[in-house]
Structure 1
Amino acid sequence: MLALTVLLLVTGWLCLDLAAAISLVALALGGILIVEEALAGSASGVEVAVASLLIIGEGR
């Protein structure tokens, strides 16, 4: 799993955020992480603010 993730990130076949999301879903579906662990960092206020700014910035 780690090798596949590194391969996706290094080669650039997918954008970085999509490769990370796919890896996270694979870890959750594989039973390595429980759903609560997989989603624990995504509820942070800082992450929501940065994601919002990136979305707003693309709408110019």
Structure 2
Amino acid sequence: MRTVRIDLDQKLLAAAASIMGTSSSNATINEALRRIVVHERQLHHLERLAAGVLTALPGPEVITVADG
């Protein structure tokens, strides 16, 4: 990986680490980046779903469990 020097807001970094349960700056930043990517991908899929692009997906399977 490439090393990049950046100035960070230490209070914001500490708050993010507390929320995510990470123990180092590197882990906090990588987890924050991962979460942004996941969030944006989910948003993109929800927008496609709302636009009707994903209407060909099958409906949910219903399973009935009998008492006995």
Confirm or deny a common fold (TM above 0.5): no
Higher relative contact order (CA 8 A, sep 6+): 1
Higher helix share: 1
Provide TM-score, normalisation by structure 2.
0.30
Provide TM-score, normalisation by structure 1.
0.34
